[in-house]
Amino acid sequence: MLQVAVEAAGGRLDKTLAALAENLSRARIQALLAAGAVSRNGEVLRDGSAKAQPGAYEILVPPVIAAEPEPQDIPLTVLFEDSHLIVIDKPPGMAVHPAPGSPDRTLVNALLHHCGASLSGIGGVARPGIVHRIDKDTSGVLVCAKTDAAHQGLSALFFRHDIDRAYVALTRGAPKPRKGTVQSLLGRSAHDRKKMAVLKSGGREAITHYETTALFGPSDRPTAARVRCRLETGRTHQIRVHMASKGAPCLGDAVYGSGSPAPAVRAAMAEAGLARQALHAQVLGFIHPITGEPLRFEAPLPADMARLEALLHAL
């Protein structure tokens, strides 16, 4: 907790807080502001250029994570691999890189063991080879770089949104309308910094194209649906937030799935053993950044989602 006195107020917020914090630089303060980790009287603050007001400021600094993850012998489902990149079908429950709550047993730890020490410098020490992410409890296709050239090339493709990415979501109810595009600003929720939200201002543009491919339960009032989502952008929790905004959150989503599914759907989820959001990165297509070869990969639904879909068909 930092206390800004009346006589110290009036200057830039980031500069004022950095002067008061013993172990936080101005750049670190700016990053924490951007992450929604700074608040005053319960209000999340994000603008470092705003004038500092007198009062108590709370700064939530995440725990320090080991700078260099250790290789761990964790089985991987490899869809493609050459000397430049590797494509993985990531299982649910595996974090992509070490973070608070997931210090090890991550995809990075597995890649360091699988690819060897040469991977350790690619794309930054803490996240070697990682070009994009999918949530810990989301399954599916993910590409990682094995060389600097591949990392730069893949990063450029993602920056230009020149990637074909399609997901399958099993949702509570069905989105309205059944097919369309959600285009919004997406950023940290002002009420809960751990959540993302559709914003009226600020945040980053997020675009999801979706189509309902199956309805479960009564046709006039479906209790669940299978929805194909194609990402034009790739923001944190994008599909989960966008589906919730259409009134059809992913089944099993403890963060964005407000409201309870119908009893028959809950029973199907329990029987299928679904213990996470029902979201799967099914398709990933791109041009190989080194060879120029068109590549496209498709991963089948994992066991929990496949079983749940079969049970939903019987409703």
Catalytic residues: 135
Residue whose tokens read 């893949």 = 154
Four-point Cα dihedral 130, 135, 140, 145, nearest 10: 0
d(CA 179, CA 150): 35
Residue 313 burial (CB count, 10 A): 12
Phi/psi for 154 (5° steps) reads -65, -40
Among 171, 156, 190, which Cα is nearest to 288's?
156
Structure tokens belonging to residue 6: 């009346």
Structure tokens belonging to residue 300: 């089948």
Residue 12 burial (CB count, 10 A): 15
